[in-house]
Structure 1
Amino acid sequence: MRKIVNLICSKSKLARELRYNISFIRATGYVPSFKNPKTYNEKINYRKNNPKNELFSVCSDKIKSKEYVAQKLSSDYIIENYYVGDSITVEKIKEILADKGDLLLKANHNSGPVYLITTEATDDEITRKVYDVNNQLKVDYGKQLNEPWYSDIKRGVLVEKRLSPQEGETDVRDYKFHVFKQNDGSFKIIVQIDFERSGNHSRSFFDDELNWLPFYTLYADTGVCIKTSIKMPKNYDLMLTAAKKLAEPFSYVRVDLYNVDGAIYFGELTFAQGSGRSGLTNKAYDLWLGRLWQGDPSH
């Protein structure tokens, strides 16, 4: 049945729109108005249908975005590249593992999956992950999710250094700064923090002073503990400054940064969180975030 639906949607724009609207309602709990957007998710969908900022494509490219950030901030923020190419082989991964140690393997033109490969990985594991990333290069991710800026990216493979988690944690803590540029040129920032992605994954939201905000995304597994307080990391003020500087050309962007004992690293820039289907606690919070987004969503 799913194959039949996919076939119909591949040939009919109306069918694709209908399927998307149904999935949007299921995810968010309300009927959207994409032509007159007011909520956060509606504005993301308006952006997807009316993108007008040439930097969307550059900054969504996991390879080119590093060059962009190095120019805007400093090369100190960039995670070391071990390999950049049109494809990758098992032999090349083994060579990098032997020379450099643990690594991350990813395609540059989509949002994953991203693979951690350690020096203890088996041949079968390496082969499976290499095969999948090479296969990702065959997919027009922009067309698949109606995020056109991804379609303009020259597809390739990126292998980069693995950042080591701080003591007591299994993953590097992921700070996602949702930066909304205000009409007066200032910024409003909501901080999303993902904890323990490889294990008991949870997600919490905070203001820019790391005071907990009482809403959550509906993706979360039932029973996952939501953290309501965290210790401010070293050099947090530098993270805020970096996020604002990277966000300056956009009405809204999500700036992902890592902080490893005070050393700050760039993760990625995202222009359509959850592809515009990030269900929140209720519509009131979706509207609240939508009001923070004051500029033209096309930019």
Structure 2
Amino acid sequence: MNRNDAEKLMLLPVVGKLFFEPAYFVYKYFVEYRPWLSDRRAVERLFEREMGYRPDLDDPKTFNEKIQWIKLHDRCPQKVICADKFRSREFVAERAGKEYTIPCLMVTEDPEDITVDKLPDQPCVIKTNHDQGTVFIVKDKAKADLGEVRGRLRIALRRNLYHAKREWHYGEVPRRIVVEPLLVSDDGNDLRDYRAYCFNGWPEIIQVESDRFSGHKRNIYKPDWRRIEVEYGYPVGEWEPAPACLDELLDISRKLAAPFLFVRVDFYIVNGRPKVGELTFLPASGLKPFSPSEFDRELGDMLDLPEAT
């Protein structure tokens, strides 16, 4: 291979990036998101595609239907702050206490700041504050592929989660990159997530995520730690004892949930104390079925909605 051929091959990733990334966004925006549809029509269409039936948005009964109603009608301004994975610390500190927040080691709007020189020396998590799933665990910054991380962050910062599923509050969040310390569980295993579903200000169930990177399991418990035999997205795991700080976790949940019709408060437990990871207003965007399906209605009965205006 001569030098000219080698130079042409080196250009292929650049050309592909310049062509395929814009084409991908055009496809997503016009073909999948269909921005010309009203929010109601888009929500109906997406729900029917994912759940297999048309939702009753005028008189919703199930939990998933009521989440669609909340998308369309609940415009509580505090949601914008709480959905922001950077600014939500302010809300948590004010209502529950700063000790329940996860420290922020770095915040930036520019992916080019994600370098060996600027990242903290300790193991950390890099994520965007405005969307879902853009998370990078960096245990050793000298060995991490930060070029790949920066590229994916650039794509994520262009993403507006509102368009995908009409979750309006995400569209209002100023886009940033947040760096946090990597949390470690007390027992040395994968960190568990404890997710308190709060209906009209009151925690009614706790969803526990375990083994997220090796056979993900999901259990659902009542606040008295009776396990509910229901599957939701992942297989049910073995029963586990309640965390020692369960009462504290529930108390924090009530304080944070007070302003909202519904919120899921997500916790990690570190050194025996709960830390608030994030606040989620539309779990799975209300598009994930329960098994048995009757549990969807049971949860729906726990959530009282006001009259739509």
Q: SS at the partner of 2:158? A: coil
Equivalent residues of 2:203, 2:250 under 8 A apart: no
Residue number in structure 1 paired with 2:270: 260
How many aligned positions are there? Answer: 284
Structural mapping, 1:20-35, within 5 Å: 21=44, 23-25=46-48, 27-35=50-58
How far 1:152 moved relative to its partner?
A: 1.0
How far 1:32 moved relative to its partner?
A: 1.4
The whole-number CA distance in structure 2 between the counterparts of 1:188 and 1:281 is 21
Equivalent residues of 1:10, 1:16 under 8 A apart: no
The whole-number CA distance in structure 1 between the counterparts of 2:111 and 2:282 is 28
Say yes or no: does 1:149 pair with 2:138: no
How far 1:112 moved relative to its partner?
A: 2.3
The whole-number CA distance in structure 2 between the counterparts of 1:96 and 1:132 is 18
The whole-number CA distance in structure 2 between the counterparts of 1:24 and 1:289 is 18
RMSD: 2.6
TM-score between the two structures when normalised by the length of structure 2: 0.83
Say yes or no: does 1:172 pair with 2:182: no
Q: SS at the partner of 1:13? A: coil
Equivalent residues of 2:111, 2:177 under 8 A apart: yes
Identity %: 26
Q: SS at the partner of 2:269? A: strand
TM-score between the two structures when normalised by the length of structure 1: 0.86
- Amino acid paired to 2:280: T
> Gaps (5+ residues) in structure 2?
1-23
- CA-to-aligned-CA distance 1:36-61 (integer Å, 9 cap, x gap): 21110111111111122111111101
**Larger relative contact order (Cα-Cα within 8 Å, sequence gap ≥ 6):** 1
Residue number in structure 1 paired with 2:37: 13
Q: SS at the partner of 1:63? A: coil
The whole-number CA distance in structure 2 between the counterparts of 1:203 and 1:53 is 30
Equivalent residues of 1:47, 1:298 under 8 A apart: no
Equivalent residues of 2:35, 2:163 under 8 A apart: no
- CA-to-aligned-CA distance 1:34-90 (integer Å, 9 cap, x gap): 222111011111111112211111110111101111111111111111111112336
Residue number in structure 2 paired with 1:53: 76
- CA-to-aligned-CA distance 1:2-29 (integer Å, 9 cap, x gap): 98796345354179946x5455345434
Say yes or no: does 1:158 pair with 2:178: yes
The whole-number CA distance in structure 2 between the counterparts of 1:58 and 1:135 is 23
The whole-number CA distance in structure 2 between the counterparts of 1:216 and 1:297 is 31
Of 256, 278, 292, which residue of structure 1 is paired with 2:288?
278
How far 1:168 moved relative to its partner?
A: 4.5
